[in-house]
Amino acid sequence: MSLQKVTFKNHQGQTLVGRLELPADSHPHNFAIFAHCFTCNKNLLAVKNISKGLTSNGFGVLRFDFTGLGESEGDFADTNFSGNVEDLVAAAQFLEENYIAPTLIVGHSLGGAASIFAAGEIASIKAVATIGAPSNPVHVKHLLKSGINEIQSEGKAVINLSGRDFTIKKQFLDDLETKSLPETAKSLRKPLLIMHSPQDDTVGIKNAEEIYVSAHHPKSFVSLDGADHLLSKKEDSIYVGEVISGWAKRYLNEGKENKPVLKTKHQVVASLDGADGFTTQMKVGNHYMVADEPESYGGNDFGPSPYELVSAGLSACTAMTIQMYSKRKGWIVNNVEVHTSYSKSHAEDCENCESNSAKIDTFHREIRLTGDLDDKQKARIMQIADKCPVHKTLHSETQVISSLVD
């Protein structure tokens, strides 16, 4: 993954700060914009995880701080919901002018409501996904109930939200009253994915129903059972990112004109940011995946370990070689299962070991054959298994030539 800090101007000329995440060593097949929740920012853990889920599937993702929040300029007290929508439009313009116009917009909580409004103003958007979104922006008023009377009488009030003080002005409330999300959703006519937790006690599940009923098909609903509103458990936000990636691809063009353009001559690229531990974004041929280490080794276990990937290559190559040989011989092999694991074993027969404790890399491989085969055929297949290209590579003298590139 490539993470870049970017800045762009909102419609008032203030600088908004974001992070642009790109998949490992390629241009994305599509760009997405992420709209964070009310008073949150681009660095919320759930936002990061969802963005990673999209990036690991070939999307480029722009997540940024709305005006007056995080690193972005402006006074939050002077912002409103309409301003958030305008910020999303400005983000789309930034991508269109500097990269490729975004085709997917994802919004969390009030950012989900803003995403539906913004999608109607951004022509390039082809799909919209919301997470825990209110069915009407006015819903935010219940978060401000402790200061509603003061806002109405004094014109503003300082309200504590999630441990932080925010000044809310009357114009913010007045702006909410002018927005009708059901009507906007009804006229959107773009594919819509609604994700919501039945246990969400901040924005109730009824909101998801109201948005769904208002919208036209194609529309989809996915229950985030057991999740809280902020998706504070990492498994929930990771799941959301994966589901949105799979759903959106159905509606987005991944034709030749959107094929990733590699910046290297190599078949495999691994990209790891300093803050990501062992979680490594990879592009393997034309496919995106993640490598990691188990939690017991300090990883997140988001993907197979490097040695598991090597074992996977041996297993896959063995199965392919056996089936290819059997078909050429006309033998009936309904299924091949190859189970492989890696370890370092004591080198009992090593001639040039430096010590008695020397170990060698060992792959334990078990092969299960299902089909109409006699013992002679099975024995021959086991011989052929040792002739698979990856097996030969592991047994041959190999070299790794490394060079530093700019």
What are the sequence ranges of the domains in the chain?
2-136+180-258, 139-178, 268-297, 306-395
- The yes-or-no verdict on residue 325 having pLDDT over 90 is yes
What integer pLDDT is reported at residue 288 of this predicted model?
A: 80
Contacts with 218 (C-beta within 8 Å, 6 or more apart), sequence order: 191, 192, 251
Largest CA distance in the chain: 92
pTM of the model: 0.75
Buried/exposed code over 48-87 (b: 16+ C-beta within 10 A; e: otherwise): bbbbbbbbbbbbbbbbbbbbbbbbbbbebeebbbbbbbbb
CATH of 306-395, one of 3.40.50.150, 3.40.50.740, 3.30.300.20, 3.40.50.300: 3.30.300.20
More confident position, 258 or 397: 397
Residue 349 pLDDT level (bands cut at 50, 70, 90): very low
Residue 357 pLDDT level (bands cut at 50, 70, 90): low
Residue 166 pLDDT level (bands cut at 50, 70, 90): confident
For residue 199, the surrounding DSSP H or E stretch is none
Name the burial class of residue 156, with classes exposed (0-12), middle (13-18) and buried (19+) by CB atoms within 10 angstroms of its CB. Answer: middle
What integer pLDDT is reported at residue 118 of this predicted model?
A: 96
Residue whose C-alpha is closest to residue 314's, from 361, 375, 379, 378: 361
What integer pLDDT is reported at residue 259 of this predicted model?
A: 47
- The yes-or-no verdict on residue 159 having pLDDT over 90 is no
What integer pLDDT is reported at residue 303 of this predicted model?
A: 87
Q: Please list the residues that pair with 128 across neighbouring strands.
A: 105, 192
pLDDT digits (tens, 9 = 90+) for 380-395: 999 999 999 999 999 8
Residue whose C-alpha is closest to residue 215's, from 233, 231, 193: 193
Cα–Cα distance measured from residue 306 to residue 286, given in angstroms and rounded to the nearest whole number: 19
CATH says 2-136+180-258 is which class? Answer: alpha beta
Does residue 218 have a cis peptide bond before it, meaning omega lies within 30 degrees of 0?
A: yes
pLDDT digits (tens, 9 = 90+) for 250-276: 999 764 444 444 455 678 888 887 777
Contacts with 16 (C-beta within 8 Å, 6 or more apart), sequence order: 7, 8, 9, 10, 64, 65, 66, 67, 72, 73, 87, 90, 91
What integer pLDDT is reported at residue 355 of this predicted model?
A: 54
